Structure formats: C-alpha cells, structure tokens
Amino acid sequence: MSIMIGLEVHCQLNTESKLFCSCEAYPKDAQPNSSTCEICLGYPGTKPVINKKAIDHVISIGLALGCRINPESYFSRKTYFYPDMPKNYQITQYEVPIASEGSIEVNGMKIRIRRVHLEEDPARILYADGNLETASHVLVDYNRAGTPLAEIVTEPDMKSPKEARAFLEKLSTILEYLKVYDQSKGASLRVDANISVDGGERAEVKNVTGFENVEKALNYEAVRQQNIVRLGRKVERETRHFDEVAKTTRTLRKKEFEEDYGYIFDPDLPVLDISDEWKSKIEKGMPELPDTMVKRFSKQYGIGDYDAKVIVYTGRDFASFFEDVCRIYSKPKAASRWMINYLLKSLNWRSERISQSRASPDTFSELLAMIDKGEITERYAKEIIKEYVDTGFRPSDIASRSGPKPSLQGLRDIVKKVIKDNTKAASEFAAGKNDALAYLIGAVLKETGKRGDPKEIAKMIKKEISNASVAQ
C-alpha cells in the first residue's frame, strides 16, 4: 500500500526574549511560571509587540529552503480551548505566511515546502506521576508560553518513515547552520507527523520529539492504517499521541478542520511589510549552507563526497573543527579519515558534540603529525584517541606515559621473549595456524605499550620462527 507523509516542524527560535513580550525566552534553571508577564499569561487588555529578530529568523529559513518571501503577511488568532493557551487563542499566521512554496532535496528526492510561518508557543503541560493516560493530575508551566516558533510545513511528498527521518535530519542541520535554533539553550524541535495510506484519510501524530521517535511513530501508524484498510474499514481523521515507552500511538481527539479554529485577523498587530531591502540584508548575512559547503569541501580539500557530507552534516561545529585542523595539518584526506572513523566514533560513544568535548584542532593535529613521524603507530593512535576525547590531554603526553618507542633491536628482543614465553602459539603458527600470529602480535604490542608497528612485528615473528625451525 502506498504511503503519504507530510510534516509540520515546530522550531523554537534563537532569540533572547519571547515573541510578543520582553520575558526571557529560555530562562536557565528558572522556577515554573517565573518567566512570565501579563502578555504571555494572556491578561485582557494587554498589547503584544513583535520581536523583529524572530521575523529575521523566519525570513532566513524561508530563503534557505528556496521559498518565496511574501511582501505582506499578518497574524491571526487561532481560537481553541486548551489549558496551555490562557487567552483561548494562539497568535499565528494562517492566510498569508512570511514564506511559502519552497523545496529542499534529500537523497535525490525533492521535498516541497508549503509554508514557513511564525507563531507563539503554548505553555508546557506536565503529567505528574505518569503519562497522558495514567497521571494523577496535570501541571502547566507558562515559562514556555510566548516563545517564538517557526512552523515549517511540507507537502505530503515523503513515501516512508525513513524518508521523513532523513528530511528532518537535513532540515535540522540547515537550521543549525543558520543559527536560528540553539539546542544548548534548551530550544527544541517538535514534529506533528501526518500520514495516510492508499490516498485515504490522514491521521496526525502530535508533538513528537526526537527523529528516531518520529520514525517509530510513523512506522506504527503505517502498519495500523494498513491493517484497518485490509479489514475493509476506513481510517478516521484524528489526532494521536505517541507513547515513547510502548512505541505505539493512541487517540487524543478527533481531528479538527481548519474552519473549526475560527481564524480571525489579529487587530492588535500590524501587517508585516517585508521590503526587498529587508530581505536582501538578511540574504547577505546568511552563512554558507550545508549543501554548498559539501561541494566546497570536496573541491577545496580533495576529499570524497561521502566524507564531505559526513563532516558537514555531523554539525557546524564539526565542520569548523575540520577546517581548523586543515589550517594546521596539511593532509585533509588523512584528517577527514581520522575524524570520521575514530574521533567521531569516540564522541558518539560519549554522546558528545565536538564543541562539548575537550578535543581541539591543535592537539588533534598533533596526533596526526605523530603518526606521520612514526612516533606512534596507527593502532596505538586509535587507543590514544579514546583517552584524548575523555581527558583532553595532549596526545604526546598520553604517549609519553607508555615510555619511548622501542628501538629496532629492542623490538627484536621483545619478539624473542614473547616467542619463548608462548611456545604453544609459536608452534601452532609454525604448523600453519595463522590465528596464532595475531595472538603473538598482540602479546608483543602489550609488551611495548602498543608502541610497535604490527606489520614490522609480524615480519620479525615470522623470521624468528622460521630461523628457529631451520635450526632444528
């Protein structure tokens, strides 16, 4: 059965204050309901004032996604009753958004962007002692109310949950490069995922966080809807909740239609006139975007397209680290290989970004130079990276604790000792069992503090055992 997926991505924007008031947007370690005022609490008679920085961010998102920036747009009131909206309406954009009709390419597939608009975030609902279904009571924290949100709405162009996840991963990287979204401040991306099968009615899975969870929610929904169709029934239009523990979706409410929200023009806010000068100023100040950077990295540094994509799409901080390393170390291909295969692996093990780690371009470049000079083997460098990422100590200091690299004669003496101490493994290798060679090499490396070259050690072991056999 065919699947159609469209996404509504809500990105909390990187601003100091909220969308319509001067309250701090991301108060650190704030008590619940402490970063609030009459405006974000919805007091009658209060007048909102638009945060220009938030508009700038939405314009830059629209430009990055190839959208048309509408010269005029305005805010409307979306009326509904929820406990997280104290004034019983949300200020959003409906009829004319700031940006519309764009697209981005993901793995050779064009995903159309219907609109990018600006709206206020509702408050945060907390389920005490449980979840949506089991909580004994519900709490509301209005610190989040009024935080600026960019809502990015796609057309239903994705054909699988995997494609939806790939789109989200690329979109989040673009938002990071634009600096419109800063996760370190506590900002989040939340996704409303719409899915239908065989052109039937769609269901919306609301407020899913984490791209893996979006994929899991859509996988569950695809199977659920396909089973309904196979039974000869019709899928109902509804809004559903994703249970992260059970990995299932459950009905929240029957899905409203647009007319149910009673959109009206907000009389307290002016029409946004976005001039060509305003748009041009934003465009000139935009950073290099990921796809452009991938092409530049391939050309400038001579690395493969795959390596360039991994470096760039791992994050802006990882790409900057690579460029800083290349300014110090003159072999970009080696730098990319070690960063992707070993440094990134250690960072992922610690669930760290490069910017959060103790690694630095100069000390990482030192490690690569030590390999080139033969001061350490590649095998030992792989071990050093683990401690390096953990501690931030200079690779030369880590290596010095293992003692100096053994001389050629010193290495021969160690090989002889290992063979003498491991006569069974030596006999097995002499009898043609190659696994025994790996054991002997490992034993020699242990004796040298992993400072020896495995290839050189293997040659010495073979020669020693061969000489011993001839002597016999």
What's 421's domain CATH number?
A: 1.10.10.410
Same domain, 227 and 185: yes
Give the model's confidence band at 337: pLDDT under 50 very low, under 70 low, under 90 confident, else very high: very high
Picking from 123, 207, 107, the residue whose alpha carbon sits closest to that of residue 158 is: 107
Cα–Cα distance measured from residue 88 to residue 82, given in angstroms and rounded to the nearest whole number:
7
Picking from 262, 124, 98, the residue whose alpha carbon sits closest to that of residue 188 is: 124
Query: pLDDT tens, 185-234?
Result: 888 899 999 999 998 999 999 999 999 999 999 999 999 999 999 999 99
Q: Of all residues in the chain, what percent carry a pLDDT higher than 90? A: 68
pLDDT at 126 exceeding the cut of 80? yes
CB atoms within 10 A of CB 308: 23
Same domain, 23 and 142: yes
Same domain, 272 and 342: no
- Find the distance separating the first CA and the last CA of the chain, reported in whole Å: 73
pLDDT at 255 exceeding the cut of 80? no
pLDDT at 3 exceeding the cut of 70? yes
pLDDT of residue 171: 97
pLDDT at 370 exceeding the cut of 80? yes
Give the model's confidence band at 178: pLDDT under 50 very low, under 70 low, under 90 confident, else very high: very high
Take residue 208 and report the two structure tokens written for it.
Answer: 């899913």
For residue 461, the enclosing domain spans 408-471
pLDDT of residue 210: 93
pLDDT at 43 exceeding the cut of 80? yes
Number of domains in the chain: 3
Same domain, 359 and 425: no
Backbone angles phi, psi at 430, to 5 degrees: -60, -30
Give the model's confidence band at 451: pLDDT under 50 very low, under 70 low, under 90 confident, else very high: low
The answer to whether 390 and 350 have CB atoms below 8 angstroms apart is: yes
Cα–Cα distance measured from residue 132 to residue 137, given in angstroms and rounded to the nearest whole number:
10
Query: pLDDT tens, 60-101?
Result: 999 999 999 999 999 999 987 777 888 889 999 999 999 999
pLDDT at 449 exceeding the cut of 70? no
pLDDT at 258 exceeding the cut of 70? no
Residues with Cβ within 8 Å of 117's Cβ and at least 6 positions away in sequence, in order, are 58, 73, 92, 93, 94, 97, 98, 99, 150, 151, 153
pLDDT at 419 exceeding the cut of 50? yes
Same domain, 359 and 427: no
The answer to whether 106 and 45 have CB atoms below 8 angstroms apart is: no
The pLDDT mean for the chain works out to 90
Last residue of a domain, one of 400, 417, 447: 400
Element of type H or E holding 364: helix 361-372
**Most confident range, picked from 301-310, 432-441, 449-458:** 301-310
Picking from 238, 269, 206, 264, the residue whose alpha carbon sits closest to that of residue 79 is: 264
Angstrom CA distances, 128 to 86, 121, 132, 260, 447, stand at 20, 21, 9, 30, 57
Last residue of a domain, one of 354, 369, 400: 400
Same domain, 211 and 108: yes
Last residue of a domain, one of 338, 369, 400: 400
Same domain, 166 and 277: yes
Cα–Cα distance measured from residue 176 to residue 185, given in angstroms and rounded to the nearest whole number:
13
Cα–Cα distance measured from residue 45 to residue 78, given in angstroms and rounded to the nearest whole number:
18
What would the mean pLDDT of 275-284 be, rounded to a whole number? 97
Q: How many helices (H) and strands (E) does the chain have?
A: 16, 16
Same domain, 252 and 338: no
Same domain, 14 and 162: yes
pTM: 0.84
DSSP string for residues in 15-33: -SB-SSSSSBSS-TTPPTT
Cα–Cα distance measured from residue 3 to residue 158, given in angstroms and rounded to the nearest whole number:
8
Query: pLDDT tens, 288-300?
Result: 999 999 999 999 9
pLDDT of residue 462: 77
pLDDT of residue 375: 79
Give the model's confidence band at 470: pLDDT under 50 very low, under 70 low, under 90 confident, else very high: very low
pLDDT of residue 377: 78
Same domain, 328 and 276: no
What would the mean pLDDT of 427-445 be, rounded to a whole number? 73
Same domain, 198 and 260: yes
The radius of gyration of the chain from alpha carbons, rounded to an integer in Å, stands at 29
DSSP 158: B
pLDDT of residue 379: 80
pLDDT of residue 471: 45
CB atoms within 10 A of CB 191: 24
Same domain, 126 and 92: yes
**Most confident range, picked from 258-267, 287-296, 373-382:** 287-296
Of the candidate ranges 34-43, 363-372, 406-415, the one whose mean pLDDT is the lowest:
406-415
Residues with Cβ within 8 Å of 62's Cβ and at least 6 positions away in sequence, in order, are 68, 69, 98, 99, 100, 102, 116
